[in-house]
Chain A
Amino acid sequence: MNWIIAFPELVLTLCGLVILTVGVVQKKSTNPFAACSMLTIAAFAITGFLVTVSPDGSGYEHVFVNDGFARFMKVLSLIGGALATIMTLSYRGTSGGGRFELPVLILFSTIGTMLMASSDNMMTLFVGLELSSLAIYILCAFDRDSVVSSESGLKYFILGSLASGLLLYGISLTYGYGGTMEYGAIRTVLIQSGGASLGLMLGIVFLIAGLAFKLSAVPFHMWTPDVYQGAPTPVTAYLAGAPKIATFALILRIMAGPFGALAPQWQLLIEMISVLSMVFGSLAAIPQTNIKRLMAYSSIGHMGYALMGLAAATPGGIRGTLVYLTTYLFMNVGVFAGIAAMRRKGHETTDIADLSGLGRTSPGLALMMAIFMFSMLGMPPTAGFFGKLMVFSAAYGAGLYGLLAIGAITSAIGAYYYLRIVKVMYFDASAPAFDTRSPSLAFLSVSMGIVTALFVLVLGPVTSAAQAAASALIG
């Protein structure tokens, strides 16, 4: 029994249980929130280290696999979880004060994302996805006294259940027509039979639909704006990071692995989803007045770009998607750190108009936000440029010129609303200044700003790691 390959997950789970116990047995007078958050961050750090040294292999009766791809995705997930936890340090709900369940739930959700990255079987796919999602449902509604937060949690739960149903149906179709749920076995069956039956293809469609929901890719995106807007800001930041990366891990793994032989069939579907996401994400963001909602549409668009790499169905495309997700993770956390810093007299404000004149009232924050916006729109030499460059060149290499053209056009449209934020910050009449930023948010926005602006320095290592991950998946 090769149980050691899941050692990082086991350690993180144990840490989660311990932190939960520690948190709950405290006296009423002490608030264990800060301590639990720090412990969670430490747990993420330890797990991250363990992931990097964990061995390759498959185990637990072929439900769990650990390889270069899984490690890459797990490290990204852990980084996403850790950054979101750092952001929660300054979080104050409507009723004031943080509750220690927030970091613990992020931790549990992250375990789910790690499981997704390591899934080698439809079982682990579903269990990991649900573990991650259930924690997020609670997280979304975490601000119990806020109506919008409860609304976002409820909406995400109901629509998420529907998506889980689609996913399960897809899994059962796959199992029914493929005869197995193991990725490797499905692959063998497909190669031997020389093609898929219609039932199996339908199963793939349902699988894609279920996963596209988690990616908030059009047309399964409808929940995104409401949930992003209603959920507490650190949760939104988490939601846009680790779970999406893990879902990409799943979709990349099953599309490249078991269904790799069917690429010509599913490529068209991924292209459609990618095009729709890019177009809808860039268009619907234009009239938005709330920055969190705007970021929701932005994230829809970004998922479309990341899917371009998958649509190419080449190692280069997968590498492009991985680099894209890496850059997106950092700039996204940076933006949400900036949004979390938008507080006046202790109250969160999320209107774009509230950013007016930020360049004068808070030049440091404005500069960081400007860097993130330029990166989001893909301006060289920021991080976002390299991600876009790689997926675009992969699409070009695969001959997907139409996709490429639409990507370019929607990037141009997207530039409008990103630059509008920059314009509001630097050219509009000043609104009252925000409260002083907490150290954790300042740390996050500055460090993410540095990473985003100077991404070119780590581009080499990141690209080669992504290359190794992609070849672990396909090669």
Chain B
Amino acid sequence: MHDVIASYFPVLVFGVIAVGIAGAMLGGSLLAGHQKPYAEKTSAYECGFEAFDDARRRFDVRFYLVAILFIIFDLEVAFLFPWAVSLSHVGLFGFLSMLGFLGMLTVGFIYEWCKGALDWD
């Protein structure tokens, strides 16, 4: 068991050093810096606008829906690239498998379309 633990010893060293340096920097600026806070300085900065609302507010769930649908089809594309490159090696079975995969995604697409997930209103 010692060899496993011992092999992680550099990680521990690295962690200690990282914490040490970060602590030194923060602590140093806290000690050495000249601090004079006022309202303008501590308020949120929005590209020059006056901040008109709190940033931590609820977004419409539709944003998430769109994001998730995007991710699904994005990953599909990410899956298509290696397939396209190696199409000559995977043969007919590989081709048909991808067609099956795409068919499945199509069913999913039909589903979300029919359910109205693609309509904003």
Residues of A at under 8 Å CB distance from B? Answer: 1, 3, 13, 17, 20-21, 24-25, 198-199, 202
Name the B residues within 8 Å of A21 (CB-CB): 107, 110-111
**Cβ-based interface call for B58 (8 A):** no
A182 to chain B, nearest CB (A): 20
Given A198-B4, A199-B4, A24:B93 Cβ within 8 A: no
Given A1-B93, A3-B93, A20:B111 Cβ within 8 A: yes
Q: Which of B84-117 contact A (CB under 8 A)?
A: 93, 103-104, 107, 110-111, 114-115
Name the A residues within 8 Å of B111 (CB-CB): 20-21, 24
B90 to chain A, nearest CB (A): 11
6 extra interchain contacts, Cβ-Cβ under 8 A, other than A17-B104, A198-B4?
A: A3-B93, A21-B107, A21-B110, A24-B115, A25-B114, A199-B4
Name the B residues within 8 Å of A24 (CB-CB): 110-111, 114-115
**Cβ-based interface call for B1 (8 A):** yes
Bound-state Cα–Cα, A199 to B3, Å: 10
Chain A residue with the shortest CB-CB distance to B4: A198
Name the A residues within 8 Å of B1 (CB-CB): 198
- Name the contact of B107 in the complex, choosing from A3, A17, A199, A202 (C-beta under 8 A): A17
Bound-state Cα–Cα, A24 to B115, Å: 7
Interface size range on B against A: 10 to 19
Bound-state Cα–Cα, A20 to B112, Å: 11
Bound-state Cα–Cα, A1 to B95, Å: 14
Bound-state Cα–Cα, A21 to B112, Å: 10
Name the residue among A13, A17, A202 with the largest chain B CB count within 10 angstroms: A17
Chain A residue with the shortest CB-CB distance to B92: A1
B88 to chain A, nearest CB (A): 17
Name the A residues within 8 Å of B104 (CB-CB): 13, 17
Nearest first, the 6 A-B pairs at minimum CB distance are A24-B114, A17-B107, A24-B111, A198-B1, A198-B4, A1-B93
B75 to chain A, nearest CB (A): 14
Do B107 and A20 have beta carbons less than 8 Å apart? Answer: yes
Bound-state Cα–Cα, A1 to B91, Å: 11
B48 to chain A, nearest CB (A): 39
Bound-state Cα–Cα, A7 to B31, Å: 70
Chain B residue with the shortest CB-CB distance to A197: B4
Name the B residues within 8 Å of A3 (CB-CB): 93
B92 to chain A, nearest CB (A): 10
Given A24-B111, A25-B114, A17:B103 Cβ within 8 A: yes
Name the B residues within 8 Å of A17 (CB-CB): 103-104, 107
